[in-house]
Homo-oligomer: A and B are copies of this chain.
Amino acid sequence: MEKNRQIILVSRPPQQGWLSEENFRLVEAPLPQPREGEILVRNHWLSLDPYMRGRMNEARSYALPQPLGEVMLGGTAGEVIVSKHPGFKPGDQVVGRLGWQEYALSEGAGLRKVNADSATPLSAYLSVLGMPGVTAWIGLFDICQPQAGQTVVVTAAAGAVGSVVGQLAKLRGCRVVGVAGGVDKCRYVVEELGFDACLDYKVGALWPALKAATPERIDCLFENVGGEIFDTLLGRMNAHARIALCGMIAQYNSAPYPLRNLSSLLVNRIRLQGFIVTELTERWPVALADLGEHVAAGRLKYRESVVEGLAQAPAALIGLLRGENFGKQLVRLV
């Protein structure tokens, strides 16, 4: 009898410390059987995302903590293999949040049917045509609202979100500067994605490179990182700049960094907006439609880091939080 492999959370990392593979456990459960009104989905792809670190804490946040002893939450893309639901049939491709497991039952709520093909593979619906892409779109257009000719800076520029932010901003006619860790990522961001410049925070001081790359300062900051990099960028903002605060990955596993340039928010009359894309449901359709057009026209490139097999997911999440991934971090559920 076939088994369903799952990863559950068995312990929490320190509030401000690093997670470890021991926080997770791979278990096997019987293959679940759908009842009337349910479908059984075979997950082919699991999405790994920085927000997962926050859910591992017990602290109050925008969402409930991931419960101990239960299957880790997470976005998935897969295929319906048994359906007792009138809205689905075997073979339907579905994207949803079915967790760190190979199979899952669903009543269909929260599932999105998609049509992958050779030009747009199923995994793309977890990156440029999924949550990361919509995050980029909403943060850039609804919050940052850049005008053509303005300077947009995006951190974690080679990541699933940052890479889309920068390309969308280029399409809008902006000067786009990325911040990323390492020569390879920076070369990719400039040469493949078409950013005007990329600052490698792993080599030397960020400030002189930032000044050189932003001769007219920063009008829009799409912030994924926080900490010292955020502080440096705060020192380079223009009057009436906008900041889309999407993530603070530098702080998820460590103590807060003391910001020296916080007064820039006041001096430059900055509007900063924290946002969580999953609750901005009314903007998803327009964002996905626009992203879909760009992808179909070949105007949006994306890249994936893929690990093979559910057992690799914990190590891959740790790598993601260390910035080791390149583009969208995925687990192929073989």
| Selected contact of A247 from candidates B246, B251, B266, CB within 8 Å | B266
Q: Counting CB contacts under 8 A, is A276 at the interface?
A: yes
Q: Are the C-beta atoms of B260 and A268 separated by less than 8 Å?
A: no
* Chain B residues, Cβ within 8 Å of A275: 269
A258-B258, A258-B259 known; 19 new pairs, CB 8 Å cut-off, are: A54-B267, A62-B268, A226-B263, A245-B265, A248-B266, A251-B263, A256-B258, A256-B259, A256-B260, A257-B258, A259-B259, A259-B262, A265-B272, A267-B274, A268-B274, A269-B274, A269-B275, A271-B273, A271-B274
Assembled-state Cα–Cα distance A248/B263 (Å): 7
* Chain B residues, Cβ within 8 Å of A259: 256, 258-259, 262
Q: Which residues in A have some Cβ–Cβ distance to B below 8 Å?
A: 54, 61-62, 226, 239, 245-248, 251, 256-263, 265-276, 279
Query: Would you give 12 A-B contacts (Cβ < 8 Å), ordered by A?
Result: A62-B269, A248-B263, A248-B266, A251-B262, A259-B259, A265-B272, A266-B274, A269-B275, A271-B271, A271-B272, A271-B273, A272-B273
Smallest Cβ-Cβ distance to A257: which chain B residue? B258
| Selected contact of A274 from candidates B248, B257, B265, B279, CB within 8 Å | B265
Smallest Cβ-Cβ distance to A231: which chain B residue? B256
Assembled-state Cα–Cα distance A102/B332 (Å): 77
* Chain B residues, Cβ within 8 Å of A260: 256
Assembled-state Cα–Cα distance A258/B262 (Å): 10
Q: Are the C-beta atoms of A248 and B262 separated by less than 8 Å?
A: yes
Q: A-B pairs with the 5 shortest C-beta distances?
A: A258-B258, A266-B274, A272-B272, A265-B274, A269-B274
Report the minimum CB–CB distance from A161 to chain B (whole Å).
Answer: 14
Q: Are the C-beta atoms of B267 and A62 separated by less than 8 Å?
A: yes
Known: A62-B239, A239-B62, A251-B263. A269 touches B276 (CB 8 A): yes
Assembled-state Cα–Cα distance A266/B261 (Å): 18
* Chain B residues, Cβ within 8 Å of A263: 226, 248, 251, 256
Assembled-state Cα–Cα distance A128/B229 (Å): 41
Assembled-state Cα–Cα distance A108/B146 (Å): 38
* Chain B residues, Cβ within 8 Å of A246: 266
